[in-house]
Structure 1
Amino acid sequence: MNAPATLLTPTSLADRDQRLLDTARHGDLDAFEALVRRHQRRVYSLAWHAVRDQMLAEEIAQDVFMQLHAALGRIESAAHLGAWLRRTTTHRVIDTLRARKASRSLEDIAEPQVGHGAGDPLAERLVHRALQRLAPRARLIVMLRYMDDLAPTEIADTLDMSLNTVKSHLRRGLTVMRARLQREAVR
């Protein structure tokens, strides 16, 4: 008779992160590497959806984890770790987008080479193109709201801004995206 499979609940995952965090703070590189492996997909995904460039997203993720290593002593808990990673990634993305804004046309950004499931590839491409037209901060706010499914209050906490500012960016961002999509539909 087989033993029942152990389900990893959000609580047990947070407990595991807490143990890894505590161990990594004491200089255990294996524990730090385990933390990186546990969170690298989320950090990379957030970066990639913002910059739409694999190498740049990898560079951002690497920078975030280098910053994490330097900040381990200031990370208070597993919950704080998740918020810290999201905040640091979004700030790093904003800096990267500002720096490269003048040097690269958004139309030149390559589409992903991996499948997106059963969705309409043309519609996805149009939505991503409309998203890329937003200012960096508005783009991240829309992504955090609709791709990471964060509430506006969580976004405000992550980006250190007022709730009204987040709501304003969401409203304007969605208005710009709708207009862009309507123009594309007419073509």
Structure 2
Amino acid sequence: MSFIVTNSKKQASYRYMNHQSDQYYINKILAGDINAFSTLVERYQSLVYTIAYRITKNKEEAEEIAQDTFVKAYTSLPNYRGEAKFSTWLYTIVYRRSLDIVKSKKRSITSEQVEEISEEHIEIVHDALSYLQEKERKEIIGNCILKLAEDEATIITLYYFEEKNIKEIKEIIGLTEDNIKIKLFRSRKKLYSILKYYVLPEINSTNGRAI
């Protein structure tokens, strides 16, 4: 029901329009056409950076991780067997690399404490967001996702922005499908609870009533 899904469909449609499949370029690379890799970088660099940034919460680290991810993907490409989508395989690399950086910096995986939000208020927040300009809406949503824990931010990003299904997300982050479903449900509610303060300041934070 989230407009995030609607936006991601448009983005996905644009991204793949008039493009050959990932496997087409992978075959060219493995055949010796190293320039073909730039097409895959172009195709996925935005989401790779976004995942890294939403995990590390640091732009410089995210840029370095994104570069490392593509270097790792290129050197490991001969080992890619196509059992998972290339994007799933790539996001697994960036997810693990990002967590390694967080752990190496001894930063804990935490998120803000947020109030419970009802489905009724989620609908109200959703409607309020729909009135915002797309650029402003995306900026607000992005900033609020940064307030989630690393695994929550990743699941939200993969599910709503990249339209990965539960099975694919399981392959990327290594949790069970049941755990991912639970985290997705809770993370969505957390996100809307945070969004509430940006788009509905008239909602009383104590009792959730409009004042």
TM-score, normalisation: structure 1: 0.67
Q: Kindly state the Cα deviation for residue 38 of structure 1 after the two structures are TM-superposed.
A: 4.4
Deviation for aligned residue 1:89: 1.4
Give the deviation of 1:183 after TM superposition. 4.4
Between the aligned residues of both structures, percent identity stands at 23
SS of 1:61's partner is helix
Quick one: which of 22, 25, 50 aligns to 1:17? 25
1:75: Cα distance to partner? 0.7
Any residues of structure 2 matched to 1:26-175 within 5 Å, and which? 29-51=34-56, 53-77=58-82, 80-99=85-104, 102=107, 118-119=133-134, 121=136, 123-175=137-189
* 1:8 maps to which of 4, 18, 31: 18
Q: CA separation in 2, counterparts of 1:127 and 1:97?
A: 22
Q: Letter of the aligned partner of 1:73 in structure 2?
A: P
Aligned partner of residue 134 in structure 2, secondary structure: coil
- Change in Cα spacing, 1:53 to 1:159, as seen in structure 2 (3 Å) is same
Q: In terms of mean alpha carbon deviation, does 52-61 or 150-159 score higher?
A: 52-61
The offset of 1:52, in angstroms, is 5.5
Residues 128 and 83 (structure 1), Cα distance of their counterparts in 2 relative to 1, 3 Å cut = closer
Aligned-residue offset at 1:63: 0.9
Partners of 1:120 and 1:68 in 2: CA distance: 31
Residues in 2 aligned to 1:170 and 1:94: alpha-carbon distance in whole angstroms? 19
Identify if the C-alpha distance between structure 1 residues 168 and 88 changes in structure 2 by more than 3 Å, giving closer, same or farther: same
Distance in 1 (CA, whole Å) between partners of 2:25 and 2:95 is 21
* 3-state DSSP of counterpart to 2:162: coil
Counterpart check, 1:176 vs 2:176: no
Partner Cα distance (2:70, 2:179) in 1 = 28
Letter in 2 for 1:162: T
Instruction: For 2:165, give the aligned amino acid.
Output: A
Assess if the C-alpha contact under 8 Å between 2:55 and 2:151 holds in 1.
no
Unaligned runs of 5+ in 2: 1-16, 112-131, 205-211
Aligned length: 163
Q: What is the aligned partner in structure 1 of residue 208 from structure 2? A: none
Q: Closer, same or farther in 2 for the Cα pair 1:131/1:31, shift >3 Å?
A: closer
For structure 1, the 5+ residue unaligned runs are 1-6, 107-116
Measured after TM superposition, the shift of residue 136 of structure 1 is: 0.6
Measure the CA separation in 2 of the matches of 1:31 and 1:128: 31
Amino acid at match of 1:168: I
Query: Of the two structures, which has the highest relative contact order with CA contacts closer than 8 Å and spacing of 6 or more?
Result: 2
